[in-house]
Amino acid sequence: MANASFPRPLAAARAPRPVVSATSSSCLGCDQAIDPLRAGHVAVLGGHFCYFCRSECKQAYLSALGEPQEDIATLVPPDVASADRDEAAPPMPEASSEGPASGVRAARRPIPRARRLSVRTGMGPRRPAQLAARAMATAGIVIGCSAAGAVLLAPVAEAVRAALVVASFLALALRIGLVPRNRADAHSFIVLLPALGATAAACVALFTHDPRSAALVVLAGLTCAAACAVEMLIGRAWMGIAVARDRIRRSLHVPVRVAQGEDTFEATPSDVRSGEQVVVFAGEMVGVDATVAAGEACILPWLDARDEIVKREGDPVVAGARVRSNQLRLIATWSGRDRAWTRLFGLEAGCIDADAPTARTLRHAVERGAPVAALLVGVAAFAGGATAVEILAAMCAAATAFAAKAASSVVALHFSRAHLDALANGITYKDPRAFEKAASANVAVLSARGTVLLGEPEIVAVEPAAGFDADRVIAFAAGAEMASTHPFAAAVLRAARTRGVRPDHVRNAKVHSGLGVTACASSGERLVIGGRAIMLEEKIGFAMFDARVSELEGQGRSVLLVALGDRLAGIIALQDGLRAGARVAVQLLLDARIEPVLLSGEARETCETIGRALDIEHVRPEVLPADRGTEVRALAESGNVVAVIGYPAIDDGPLGAADVAVAMAAAGSTPGEWAVALAGDQLRDAALALTIPRAAGERARVAMAIGATPGLVAVLAVAFGIAPLAVAPLAALLGAIAVMLHARERPAGAR
């Protein structure tokens, strides 16, 4: 019997009608009236636009046409078009027609494979083009070196020298033309124009019998050969990133079962819109970012995750999560390229390697600085009385040396690798700017309750005052805490049930956030439960217990004071454990030179004890929830970049005031204000969200220095005439080799 809470299969679609013109105002799959300007799905058949109200109608219509699928160009609405292009069109797996073991039978028709737009990333060309590009690069290196060697080692006719130089340039141009440009790389003109200028200068010198023709031929040959070698090095370095991204795209390209009322139909992840309901059964992968609308299940929270967590109603889930038990009904929040796991390596704006501020700034500096360096060196050559050909050659040499294309590319490479490492740990970033902002954080604020601590305290001691017993103290506390949702309230109520104590029938209970609870006891007396602050506010003395309270707090325990009327009835001591991975997380922050700050509403003695257990020296105790945002802003006012680690539902105040908000278990949710969102809830992963981009930034700065130094030295040497022009391409190649060797060294702990 089908479960009534989950949808039934969609009824068979009607037979397709003949293709009509673009003015058609009805869905070709179900005959329902539809506005062509607002149609959810569109296909182009026979030169005409065909409109459909739902993805299922379009799929059924195209399948029933009997035409080859490769002759059909499928269009998608504008809001998912960019995502569809970025999916690389991997084939959709064909699901079986049987439902899961629960007996629910859902529509599992295979989704038609339509022709999609090609993906031009510059990192994954088709095999023939890849082989041709490699052959051209190799030919350019061999011919360019041959041109230089022929001049230096053997007498060769001028026509042969010119032919070798031109051939090496053509090989370089063909290599660049065969591989579409990667947006993370500097523009190709900074490679082609200096090579073209050097080739032209060499040819003119040869045919005019210029006495410096030999030097210019060497410059042209080495310029083309070095450029080809640099292009090969860059392409090889990006290969691993391209493979990893392609694997993620293909892994996430799974059928999504969309629910419409009591029916379901299968769609691609790019066809699902925000707000649509999706059904996922045990053993299936979630294809879109979503929020749980109904059900409870154990899931692997992200792609390649190892540890299971439980997701309940209201919890976010990211695409790539796999349901291990039960079934879930989800409400889609993000689909296509906007999903958390693919958001930062798309083709458009928002790609981490192309749009990270540091990578973009360096790329623009290379693109705009090379012409400036060439002009300055050209002016210096003109002032030195050089001929026109020599001036052109000097300008080309300077541009070649200054254009550290490999350095700018490797900076983007470090960011891309760091992003993949973050995804492997369930960490997502809002955008490239958020990634770099996380790298600059030097203070990390951790909320004690629920973040550093488990948030599940247990009562370890009940000490009544004279005239009261322990059960009566528990009864008063349980009666008042029934109005609270604080973890202390849950601990008190658990203790009352365990001891078989009936809570006192209190009236008019009022919760004071961060302080405690006031109420009227069944005897009519005032009842106050909380810490020292609320006792002072209510003018209740507790001097006889002050020493004992300080002793318990020094042991890392939290203390609740229970007062009836105007005197203390007793104290309740609670102990909460540290979260697994808390010490590791703090050590990661310390190793990255990020100062951890413990923010808590606990008493100073308790907070300092927790801090000592975690090696946290900076503690901010006795801070009420309403004041925690102010505390975070105060830390930032001293010039720090402050990151806050916490849960959105508990720590909204400090997260909202942070420069970098690290929201745990929030990836895939609808709000997009968090700079960093975790798919899981491990504190170690939250620390890695700050340390991974920080390490990537440090490595990027080293790469910039390594790659740019040889070129800058060569520019100065050429400008002042203290080195031959041929040193420029050699310096550019040396810098490229250095940064590529540096890029091969993986940082400790990288996956």
CA atoms of 102 and 279, how far apart (whole Å)? 13
Q: Which residue did the predictor score with more confidence, 147 or 152?
A: 147
Mean pLDDT of the chain: 82
| Residue 254 CA from chain centroid, whole number | 21
Domain covering 458-575: architecture: 3-Layer(aba) Sandwich (3.40)
Strand partners, 527: 519, 564
Compute, in degrees rounded to 10, the torsion defined by CA atoms 634, 640, 645, 651.
Answer: 20
pLDDT at 103: 34
Give the Å distances, CA to CA, from 685 to 75, 285, 471: 39, 22, 42
589 — pLDDT class (breaks 50, 70, 90): very high
**Arithmetic mean of pLDDT, 566-576:** 91
Tokens linked to 54: 């739902």
Q: Which residue has the tokens 């290599």?
A: 175
Please give the helix or strand (H or E) that residue 458 lies within, else none: strand 458-464
543 — pLDDT class (breaks 50, 70, 90): confident
CA atoms of 170 and 173, how far apart (whole Å)? 5
670 — pLDDT class (breaks 50, 70, 90): confident
CA atoms of 477 and 571, how far apart (whole Å)? 10
List of residues 6+ apart from 301 with CB closer than 8 A? 307, 308, 309, 311, 317, 318, 321, 426, 679, 680
Give the Å distances, CA to CA, from 432 to 279, 358, 426: 32, 10, 17
CA atoms of 253 and 422, how far apart (whole Å)? 21
Q: What are the helix and strand counts (H, E) for the chain?
A: 21, 26
**Arithmetic mean of pLDDT, 574-579:** 89
Q: Sign of the C-alpha dihedral, residues 632, 637, 642, 648? A: positive
**Arithmetic mean of pLDDT, 648-654:** 87
pLDDT at 64: 59
Query: Do the Cβ atoms of 553 and 609 come closer than 8 Å?
Result: yes
Which of 205, 676, 199, 601 has its CA nearest to residue 419? 676
Lowest mean pLDDT, pick from 25-34, 373-382, 538-547: 25-34
How does pLDDT run across 252-305, given as a tens digit for each residue? Answer: 999 999 988 778 888 889 889 989 999 999 999 999 999 999 999 999 999 989
Q: Which residue has the tokens 């707000």?
A: 275
Name the residue type at position 446: L
CA atoms of 677 and 487, how far apart (whole Å)? 24
DSSP code at position 337: G
152 — pLDDT class (breaks 50, 70, 90): low
**Arithmetic mean of pLDDT, 195-218:** 91
Tokens linked to 701: 């700065």
Q: Which residue has the tokens 């929830």?
A: 625
173 — pLDDT class (breaks 50, 70, 90): very high
CA atoms of 295 and 316, how far apart (whole Å)? 13
Written as one string, the DSSP assignment of 35-104 is -GGG-SEEEEETTEEEEESSHHHHHHHHHHH-S-GGG-EEE--HHHHHHHHHT--PPPP---SS--TTS-
Strand duo 263-267 + 8-9: pairing? parallel
CA atoms of 397 and 400, how far apart (whole Å)? 5
16 — pLDDT class (breaks 50, 70, 90): very low
Please give the helix or strand (H or E) that residue 233 lies within, else none: helix 213-252
Has residue 36 got a pLDDT over 80? no
DSSP code at position 420: H
pLDDT at 401: 92
Please give the helix or strand (H or E) that residue 141 lies within, else none: helix 127-153
How does pLDDT run across 609-633, given as a tens digit for each residue? Answer: 999 999 999 999 989 888 999 999 9
pLDDT at 382: 92
Has residue 125 got a pLDDT over 50? no
Which of 76, 55, 67 has its CA nearest to residue 19? 67
Q: Which fold has domain 427-453+578-679?
A: Rossmann fold (3.40.50)
73 — pLDDT class (breaks 50, 70, 90): very low
CA atoms within 13 A on the CB side of 635: 29
Compute, in degrees rounded to 10, the torsion defined by CA atoms 574, 579, 584, 586.
Answer: -60
| Residue 364 CA from chain centroid, whole number | 24
CA atoms of 320 and 300, how far apart (whole Å)? 9
How does pLDDT run across 709-737, given as a tens digit for each residue? Answer: 999 999 999 988 888 999 999 999 999 99
Please state the domain extents for the chain: 1-119, 127-245+348-415+695-744, 427-453+578-679, 458-575
**Arithmetic mean of pLDDT, 584-613:** 92
Name the residue type at position 186: A
pLDDT at 44: 58
CA atoms of 667 and 619, how far apart (whole Å)? 28
pLDDT at 337: 86
How does pLDDT run across 379-417, given as a tens digit for each residue? Answer: 999 998 889 999 999 999 999 999 888 888 999 999 999
Query: Do the Cβ atoms of 172 and 224 come closer than 8 Å?
Result: yes
Radius of gyration of the chain (CA): 34
pLDDT at 744: 81
Strand duo 642-646 + 443-447: pairing? parallel
40 — pLDDT class (breaks 50, 70, 90): low
Q: Which residue did the predictor score with more confidence, 47 or 144?
A: 144
pLDDT at 666: 92
Name the pTM for this structure.
Answer: 0.79
Has residue 375 got a pLDDT over 90? yes
pLDDT at 35: 62
**Arithmetic mean of pLDDT, 629-641:** 92
Give helix 127-153 / helix 213-252 axis angle, nearest 10°. Answer: 160
Has residue 80 got a pLDDT over 50? no
pLDDT at 262: 76
How does pLDDT run across 423-452, given as a tens digit for each residue? Answer: 999 999 999 999 999 999 999 999 888 889
pLDDT at 449: 81
pLDDT at 345: 83
**H runs (alpha helix) in 350-486:** 352-355, 357-383, 388-402, 405-424, 432-440, 470-481
Query: Do the Cβ atoms of 394 and 212 come closer than 8 Å?
Result: no
pLDDT at 746: 58
Q: Which residue has the tokens 């975690």?
A: 614
Written as one string, the DSSP assignment of 115-137 is B-PPP--SSS--HHHHHHHHHHH
